[in-house]
Structure 1
Amino acid sequence: MSKHLYLVPPCDKLTLLTPAEEAMAVLTTFTRENAVSVNCCDTKTICIVASIRNLAQIEGAYGSDAALAVRHIVHERAREFSMRKSGIVTFSGGLIFFVMPRDDYSESDDVPHVLDDNSIVESVIAALGDEPVPTVTGMIRAAIDASIPPDVDEPFDLDEVGPHAAQMGGKTWRAGYMTDMQTANEVFDALERGELCFRYEKVCSACDIGIIGYYEALLCTTENGMPVSVGNKIPVLERLGLIGRLDKWVVASVIETLRACPDVSLGCNVSVQSATLDGWWATIIERLTREPQVARRLVVEITESALFTDMDALSDFIRVLRLLGCRVALDDVGAGHSCLKSLTELRVDMVKVDGSYLRHARATDRARARLRSLVQLARLCASHVVLEGIEREADVQISLACGAQWVQGYLFDPIFGSDLTHPVTNRDRGD
């Protein structure tokens, strides 16, 4: 990674979003002048529209000079990427337009264009956003969006491909955003150094804790040789719009572990922000289609710690994973932004009830009745219910009394890496 500081003259104006008419004119002129076609039926080229989703927040927190520096470096990365891939690129306001040849990416004539195209989109996102931008105010990470627009002759919604609206405030917000960015840098630096790992928690039968349904892979970092949870940093990455890169690493790592451990079932958390059928997931879906023995041992746990409104996209995501044989769980139900709508409308295999309900249920009969009601509702919406936060034997009895079939928590010793050898049978999985 370059250690230079990039300075942009402060007189350069920062335009965060170009009107749709102007952007479309730029794209049309761009393709005409370069004698290329981005028609959806053209098999030789592909058009990709990218943007810096958090550019407005960067300007609000760090100032216009820092935002200009970030935009400048991202644009330089776009030019370098385009040159490496024999493509062409132009810029308009907050948008970056690529036209790339498909031929450079196809390994054979048998590779479907849709998968090939998705890999190009993911390459764009990685090239523009994986590395932080060094500025005089510190390392800043750009949240990159990229997608393939429809036929250039047809209108497309720039709200879907351009920078999203920023939620900004005063000094407190700016200080918080800068602190969040520092935390994100720590997480991704640990990822680059190979310091991220997993602690595997058992999901056990409430009737017989010797029966293990699967292991949940919980993200940790290593400090002085000991694993330390990074769960409290996940909301930070969600606020910054950077959670996608981490989720992708987690899912890919868990799939590799499933390949290496054919007798084990594993679950992993995916932020609701990442639960959309984008280019990267298309690649994963293609892999899981080829390896059903891996897919049926994967549990994707969707966390709703961040606000999410596109229920249709989430439903499609869940439907496709289930068709592949994966199981899908709603995690931490009753906490964060989880809602009754998600519970009742999303067709998931499993509901995991947040441990806070169990903590309250230990204290009063009324709280126990609330827990029982939530578990019973969950059982109407999914085949299996897991009660989280199990810390003592009495908690297992509460779980049974409330109707939960599965339990998870500190009562059951977690395992690490090489100890992940427990054979998981159909009976264990709860099929």
Structure 2
Amino acid sequence: MTSVPPQASSILACLGQAAFVWDIASDAIRWTDHLASIFPDIPSASLATGSEFSKMIEPRRSIRTDALTGSSAADRGAGVAYRIEYGVRAITSAAVLWIEESGCWFAGADGRPAQVQGIVRIDNERHAREEQLVKLSRHDPLTGELNRTHLVASLAEAIEEAMRFRSSFAFMLIGIDHLARINDAFGFDVADQVISVVAKRIRVRLRGGDVLGRFSGNKFGLVLKNCTVDDMNVAAERFLAGIRDDIVPTKSGPVSVTASIGAVSVPRYARSAEEAVNRAQETLDTAKRRRAGSFLAWRPNVERDAQRRVNIRVTDEIVTALNERRIVMAFEPVVDARTRDPAFHECLVRMQQDDGQFLLAPDIVPVAEKLGLIRLVDHRVLELVVSELAAAPAVQLSLNISPATTMDPDWWASIESLMRAHPGVAERLIVEITETVAIQDIDDVRGFVTRLKNFGSRIAIDDFGAGYTSFRNLRRLGVDIVKIDGAFVQNIAQSADDRSFVQTLIDLARRLGIKTVAEWVQDEEAAAMLRDWGCDYIQGRLIGLASSHRPWHLQDAAAVLPAAG
């Protein structure tokens, strides 16, 4: 290699580059000037030969010779180009210099590489960017721990290893309690501070080899290697205490935080990553329901497994019944407490089975709600009720909807479409929502009530008295009817407490101009009491249970529910 002019050598140095010629036979390397500015901490002797230079290369010392000898191309006189990347450092305590080397090798008489001419370029910044991108693809940006994808991948690897070596470990999900409240009270930035601190508190309590990752917004997943059931209990308490014992300092002030843990022993009770995650999530949910800040480990449960089999069967039956139009209505009469004239009918969902028998609402609705099918059921019920109202212009019907449906935009689209298609139906429709829905978010429910009343429909609160809704909230919601929970009504003839409670509810509702319906009326004695207290309507065994027959077909004239006063 002819010497590079000083000016060109200076330019290369400014660019963080150096040119070289490597004679393969003698192993000598000749470099351009200003080499010290490119490799400031590397002795010149380590740069003088290919063998000495290779001793500093990471991660694979033979990368330069492999690039030459591994090429399938032949030198036709113009050389064979190559390009490689590697790191170099003279001692292990020094920082790695990342190098991009490109050049050509030229063959000798035997056709094998005899000389190399090339340029090396320092490329620390690009390598740092690539490392950062790799880290971001694997790690959660807020906490720096593994993200969900790589956490689950680590869990799967641990399961495979445990099954191969007949060992065991624990998989835990740690959920920060009431993080939504912190979001609402202080803002998301403070909640992020809490998440970061909790991650650090978990991290410092891990052993070497344990794996930590952020599973979701408020949850962390842990893979605790070689962890028995007894070890799992000890570890869980250590994590819980580490999180709860010290307040979390934030820019908005100190915040007290607790967490709950659900865990599963693997592979004893979970033989796949999906199974481990599901069972840890299940136990975490149960732990939170029992008491915030608690720990629960998954255990086999015969009753739970049997119920799941039932759920699976009922789910399949519900979907099939929906597809085959076997979801039908039963109609339970609600009558005037004084005259016993029909006022309206409550529509109750039934599902006809293959054998002709019917599943009742208590068998259908809880499973449908739990498994996310209730919105489909509610859509079908709405269609059936509107169809009945359209076919019988003098009839008034009520239908129950689930909590999820109150916020379902598709349900709203359906009811708006049906109301436009069937004028006059909305005024004869009563929509019942449970009291528990009414007290969850007054503002949201108020919007729901307002939209329905704009159609001309009435709103009833079902099971009133079970959820402790205040009458002030009833007035804010603008409901038309309250249906007093039958649990308080059925024993009013024997229970002074129930009599007092029901009588008070009726009196307060009357003062607010809200109609009352007493559910589960069993006998004439109870009906007489309710009439004398001023209850507007009654329903229950005394009046008649739900039937698939349409009673209004047998009536000469249907009574109309009086307007709310």
TM range (shorter): 0.5 to 0.7
CA deviation profile, 1:196-234 (whole Å, cap 9, x unmatched): 22211111000010x211111111233554545222431
Q: Does 1:221 align with 2:351?
A: yes
Sort the Cα spacing of 1:288 and 1:236 in 2 relative to 1 into closer, same or farther, 3 A: same
Instruction: For residue 296 of structure 1, give the secondary structure of its aligned residue in structure 2.
Output: helix
Which residue of structure 2 lines up, in the alignment, with residue 82 of structure 1?
none
Which residue of structure 2 lines up, in the alignment, with residue 399 of structure 1?
530
Contact 1:343–1:378 under 8 Å retained in 2? no
**Displacement, 1:384?**
0.8
Sort the Cα spacing of 1:366 and 1:419 in 2 relative to 1 into closer, same or farther, 3 A: closer
RCO comparison, higher one (Cα < 8 Å, 6+): 1
Sort the Cα spacing of 1:279 and 1:406 in 2 relative to 1 into closer, same or farther, 3 A: same
CA deviation profile, 1:132-185 (whole Å, cap 9, x unmatched): xxxxx9xxxxxxxxxxxxxxxxxxxxxxxxxxxx93563459645564344333
Q: Does 1:430 align with 2:542?
A: no
Following the alignment from structure 1 to structure 2, what is the Cα–Cα distance between the partners of residues 308 and 241? 22
Which residue of structure 2 lines up, in the alignment, with residue 282 of structure 1?
413
Contact 1:349–1:383 under 8 Å retained in 2? yes
Following the alignment from structure 1 to structure 2, what is the Cα–Cα distance between the partners of residues 423 and 300? 26
RMSD between aligned residues: 3.6
Q: What letter is aligned with 2:415? A: I
Unaligned runs of 5+ in 2: 1-138, 143-151, 153-158, 160-214, 217-271, 273-283, 288-297
Q: TM-score under structure 2 normalisation?
A: 0.43
Q: What letter is aligned with 2:458? A: R
Q: TM-score under structure 1 normalisation?
A: 0.55
Listed as ranges, the matches of 1:23-422 within 5 Å are 167=285, 170-171=298-299, 175=305, 179-209=310-340, 211-222=341-352, 224-225=355-356, 227-276=358-407, 278-289=409-420, 291-304=422-435, 309-335=440-466, 337=467, 339-340=469-470, 343-381=474-512, 383-413=514-544, 414-421=546-553, 422=555
**Displacement, 1:278?**
0.9
**Displacement, 1:343?**
3.6
Sort the Cα spacing of 1:367 and 1:289 in 2 relative to 1 into closer, same or farther, 3 A: same
Following the alignment from structure 2 to structure 1, what is the Cα–Cα distance between the partners of residues 393 and 376? 26
Following the alignment from structure 1 to structure 2, what is the Cα–Cα distance between the partners of residues 20 and 246? 41
**Displacement, 1:289?**
4.1
Contact 1:220–1:228 under 8 Å retained in 2? yes
Kindly tell me the number of residue pairs found equivalent between the two proteins. 274
**Displacement, 1:394?**
1.7
Sort the Cα spacing of 1:233 and 1:340 in 2 relative to 1 into closer, same or farther, 3 A: farther
**Displacement, 1:239?**
2.8
Contact 1:198–1:417 under 8 Å retained in 2? no
Q: Which 10-residue stretch deviates more, 277-286 or 310-319?
A: 277-286
Following the alignment from structure 1 to structure 2, what is the Cα–Cα distance between the partners of residues 264 and 19? 59
Following the alignment from structure 1 to structure 2, what is the Cα–Cα distance between the partners of residues 247 and 20? 41
Q: What letter is aligned with 1:200? A: F
